[in-house]
C-alpha cells in the first residue's frame, strides 16, 4: 500500500506531507515538514522500519536562513542506537545531542511535531483495531534542533469508530485523543495537526 498523507498544523503555522509505503509489517516514508517556530525551517526526513514496525532508520535534514543541520538515528539488529549529526551556519537553537545509552528500551523513533511516527507503535500494538494499551520508551527527536532524548509514552485504545479508532496518547502531563484511520495513520491530533488528504 502506498499513500500520500498531508497534515496542516492546528495553529496554521505548520504543515507536513509524507509519501508512505506499507508492506506487510514494514513501513517506509519520506516527508517534508514546514514550520516557523522557534525559527522558520524546512525539514526533510526518511524513516524506515524492519519487521514488526521496529524503527531501523530516521534520517533528517533541516534548513533555515543561513543555517542547516542533519541527523541520522539508526537502530541496529542488536538493539543499539547510533546517532550522527552535523551542520553549518549559526542559529539560536540547542545543540543536536543524543542520549544513546538511555535509548536501550526504545523500539521506535518519534519525530517532533510529526503525526506520522505515532503509526509504528499503534500498528505493532494493534491499537487501531481493538482494546489494549502500550507503555513505551521512544527515541524522540526534537524539531528543529534535532536533539534526541528518551521519552516515556503511553498509547491506549479508547474506542472503535466508523473509519478506525480513537487512541489516547500521553507523555508526562500531556494527553491527546488521536483519531486514527483503519490503516493506523493519524487523522486528527488535537493541538498539533489535522489530515487534509490521503
Does the pLDDT at position 185 exceed 90? yes
Does the pLDDT at position 195 exceed 60? yes
The predicted pLDDT at position 19 comes to 98
Give the global pTM.
Answer: 0.95
123-143 per-residue burial string, b: 16 or more CB within 10 A, e: under 16? bbbebbbeeeebebbbbbbbb
d(CA 149, CA 152): 10
The predicted pLDDT at position 158 comes to 98
If you search the block for the grid coordinates 500520500, which residue do you land on? Answer: 4
pLDDT digits 0-9 by tens, 56-101:
999 999 999 999 999 999 999 888 999 999 999 999 999 999 988 9
Say what percent of the chain tops pLDDT 90.
93
pLDDT digits 0-9 by tens, 124-148:
999 999 999 999 999 999 999 999 9
State the average pLDDT over residues 113-129: 96
Does the pLDDT at position 198 exceed 70? no
When the pLDDT of each residue in the chain is averaged and rounded to a whole number, the result is 96
Choose among 147, 142, 177, 137: nearest CA to 161: 177
Least confident range from 1-15, 19-33, 171-185: namely: 1-15
The predicted pLDDT at position 170 comes to 98
The predicted pLDDT at position 78 comes to 85
State the average pLDDT over residues 96-119: 95
Secondary structure of residue 117 in the 3-state scheme: helix
Provide the H-helix boundaries in 80-182: 119-125
The H or E element containing residue 157 is strand 148-160
In this prediction, residue 11 has a pLDDT band, given cuts at 50, 70 and 90, of confident
The predicted pLDDT at position 131 comes to 95
CA distances from 83 to 21, 39, 43, 91, 177 (A): 24, 24, 18, 21, 31
In this prediction, residue 119 has a pLDDT band, given cuts at 50, 70 and 90, of very high
- All three cell numbers of 101, joined, read 545509552
Amino acid at each position: 500500500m502506498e499513500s500520500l498523507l498531508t497534515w496542516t498544523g492546528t495553529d496554521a503555522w505548520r504543515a507536513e506531507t509524507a509519501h508512505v509505503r506499507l508492506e506487510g509489517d514494514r513501513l517506509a516514508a519520506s516527508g517534508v515538514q514546514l514550520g516557523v517556530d522557534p525559527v522558520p525551517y524546512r525539514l526533510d526526513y526518511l524513516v524506515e522500519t524492519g519487521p514488526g514496525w521496529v524503527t531501523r532508520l530516521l534520517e533528517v535534514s533541516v534548513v533555515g536562513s543561513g543555517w542547516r543541520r542533519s541527523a541520522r538515528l539508526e537502530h541496529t539488529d542488536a538493539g543499539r542506537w547510533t546517532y550522527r549529526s552535523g551542520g553549518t551556519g549559526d542559529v539560536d537553537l540547542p545543540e543536536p545531542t543524543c542520549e544513546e545509552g538511555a535509548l536501550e528500551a526504545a523500539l521506535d523513533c518519534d519525530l517532533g511535531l510529526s503525526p506520522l511516527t505515532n503509526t509504528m507503535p499503534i500498528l505493532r500494538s494493534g491499537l487501531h483495531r481493538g482494546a489494549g494499551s502500550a507503555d513505551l520508551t521512544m527515541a524522540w527527536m526534537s524539531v528543529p534542533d534535532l536533539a534526541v532524548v528518551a521519552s516515556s509514552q503511553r498509547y491506549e485504545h479508547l474506542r472503535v469508530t466508523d473509519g478506525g479508532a480513537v487512541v489516547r496518547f500521553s507523555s508526562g502531563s500531556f494527553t491527546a485523543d488521536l483519531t486514527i484511520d483503519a490503516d493506523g495513520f493519524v487523522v486528527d491530533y488535537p493541538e498539533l495537526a489535522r489530515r487534509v488528504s490521503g
